[in-house]
Chains A and B, each alone.
Chain A
Amino acid sequence: MKYIIGIGNYSMFDDSIGIKVIEYIEENNLIANLIAKEHQDSIQAIDLSGNLLNLFNYLNSSTEKIVIIDTAKINIDKQMPDKQQEQRVPGEFIVFTPEEVESTKNLANISTHEGDLLKVLALARETDYFIPEIVIIGVIPKEIKNDFGLSLELNNKLPVYAKKALEEIL
Chain B
Amino acid sequence: MKKDININVHHLTRVEGHGNIVVNVKSGKIEKCEWQVPEAPRFFEAMVRGRHYSEVARITSRICGICSVGHTLASVKASEAALGIEVTAQTKKLRRLLKHAENFDSHVLHVYFLVAPDLLGAPSVFPLVPTHTAVVKRALQLKRVGHEWGSLLAGRTTHPTTVVPGGFTKLPTKKELEALKQTILAAEPDLLATLDTVAALAPKIPAFSRPTEYVAVSSDEEYGLYDGLIQCTMPDGKKERIKVSDYKSVTNEWVSPLSTAKYCKHKLDSYAAGALARFNNNFEMLHPKAKEAASKLGLKPVCTNPYMNSVAQAVEVVNDVYKSIGLIDELLASGIKDEELVKPTKWSKGASAVEVPRGILFHEYEYDKNGMCLSGNCIIPTNQNHANIQKDFDALVPELLSQNKSEKEMELALEMLVRAYDPCISCSTHFLNVKFVR
* A interface list, Cβ under 8 A from B: 7-12, 15, 46-54, 56-57, 70-77, 80, 82, 84-85, 96, 99-105, 107-118, 122-123, 126-129, 136, 138, 141, 144, 146, 148
Q: Whose C-beta in chain B lies nearest to the C-beta of A106?
A: B433
In the assembled complex, B114 has its CB within 8 A of some CB on chain A: yes
Contact A99 B438 (CB under 8 A): yes
11 extra interchain contacts, Cβ-Cβ under 8 A, other than A75-B435, A113-B66?
A9-B65, A50-B65, A57-B147, A74-B434, A80-B436, A85-B436, A102-B435, A109-B114, A109-B123, A111-B109, A123-B126
Cβ–Cβ < 8 Å partners of A104 in chain B: 433-435
Contact A9 B13 (CB under 8 A): no
* Residue from the list A70, A84, A113 in contact with B432, Cβ < 8 A: A70
Contacting residues of chain B (96-129) with chain A, CB-CB under 8 angstroms: 109, 113-114, 117, 123-126, 129
Q: In this complex, which of A51, A74, A112, A138 has the most chain B Cβ atoms within 10 angstroms of its Cβ?
A: A112
Cβ–Cβ < 8 Å partners of A108 in chain B: 13-14, 123-124
Give Cα A54 to B68, complex, Å: 14
B154 to chain A, nearest CB (A): 12
Q: In this complex, which of B14, B125, B432 has the most chain A Cβ atoms within 10 angstroms of its Cβ?
A: B432
Give Cα A22 to B126, complex, Å: 30
* Residue from the list A12, A77, A110, A148 in contact with B429, Cβ < 8 A: A12
Q: Whose C-beta in chain A lies nearest to the C-beta of B146?
A: A54
Per-residue CB proximity of B27-66 to A under 8 Å, as 1/0?
Answer: 0000000000001101000010000000000000011011
Given contacts A57-B144, A111-B109, contact A144 B133 (CB under 8 A): no
Contacting residues of chain B (417-437) with chain A, CB-CB under 8 angstroms: 424, 426-437
B385 to chain A, nearest CB (A): 17
Contact A103 B16 (CB under 8 A): no
Give Cα A20 to B42, complex, Å: 19
Contact B437 A109 (CB under 8 A): no
Per-residue CB proximity of B390-412 to A under 8 Å, as 1/0?
Answer: 00000000000000000000000
* B interface list, Cβ under 8 A from A: 13-17, 39-40, 42, 47, 62-63, 65-66, 68, 109, 113-114, 117, 123-126, 129-130, 133, 136-137, 140, 143-144, 147-148, 156-159, 424, 426-438
Given contacts A48-B158, A127-B137, contact A136 B427 (CB under 8 A): no
* Residue from the list B39, B124, B158 in contact with A51, Cβ < 8 A: B158
Contact A54 B14 (CB under 8 A): no
Contact B434 A109 (CB under 8 A): no
Give Cα A102 to B437, complex, Å: 7
Contact B432 A136 (CB under 8 A): yes
* Residue from the list A72, A77, A100, A113 in contact with B428, Cβ < 8 A: A113
* Residue from the list A75, A80, A117, A138 in contact with B430, Cβ < 8 A: A117
Cβ–Cβ < 8 Å partners of A75 in chain B: 433-435
Q: Whose C-beta in chain B lies nearest to the C-beta of A125?
A: B129
* Residue from the list A49, A82, A111, A146 in contact with B426, Cβ < 8 A: A146
A127 to chain B, nearest CB (A): 5
B19 to chain A, nearest CB (A): 12
* Residue from the list B17, B113, B130, B431 in contact with A141, Cβ < 8 A: B431
Give Cα A110 to B430, complex, Å: 11
Give Cα A83 to B23, complex, Å: 48
Give Cα A62 to B365, complex, Å: 44
Give Cα A75 to B123, complex, Å: 26
B421 to chain A, nearest CB (A): 14
Give Cα A136 to B424, complex, Å: 28
Contact B16 A100 (CB under 8 A): no
* Residue from the list A82, A85, A123 in contact with B129, Cβ < 8 A: A123
Give Cα A126 to B431, complex, Å: 22
Contact A138 B434 (CB under 8 A): yes
Cβ–Cβ < 8 Å partners of A146 in chain B: 39-40, 42, 426
Given contacts A11-B62, A127-B129, contact A109 B428 (CB under 8 A): no
Contact B438 A70 (CB under 8 A): no
28 contacts between A and B (CB under 8 A): A9-B427, A9-B430, A11-B63, A47-B156, A51-B66, A52-B430, A54-B157, A56-B144, A75-B433, A96-B434, A96-B436, A100-B436, A100-B437, A103-B432, A103-B433, A105-B432, A105-B433, A109-B117, A109-B124, A109-B126, A110-B125, A111-B109, A111-B113, A112-B109, A114-B428, A118-B432, A127-B129, A146-B40
Contact A116 B433 (CB under 8 A): yes
Given contacts A47-B156, A109-B117, A110-B113, contact A115 B430 (CB under 8 A): yes
Contact A113 B17 (CB under 8 A): yes
Cβ–Cβ < 8 Å partners of B159 in chain A: 10, 47, 49
Contact A50 B436 (CB under 8 A): no
Give Cα A56 to B68, complex, Å: 19
Given contacts A50-B427, A80-B436, A113-B430, contact A11 B13 (CB under 8 A): no
Cβ–Cβ < 8 Å partners of B144 in chain A: 56-57
A113 to chain B, nearest CB (A): 4
Q: Whose C-beta in chain A lies nearest to the C-beta of B150?
A: A54
Q: Whose C-beta in chain A lies nearest to the C-beta of B151?
A: A57
Contact A53 B143 (CB under 8 A): yes
A120 to chain B, nearest CB (A): 10
Give Cα A99 to B438, complex, Å: 8
Q: Whose C-beta in chain B lies nearest to the C-beta of A17?
A: B431
Contact A56 B129 (CB under 8 A): no
Contact B113 A73 (CB under 8 A): no
Contact A100 B65 (CB under 8 A): no
Cβ–Cβ < 8 Å partners of A52 in chain B: 430
Contact A109 B427 (CB under 8 A): no
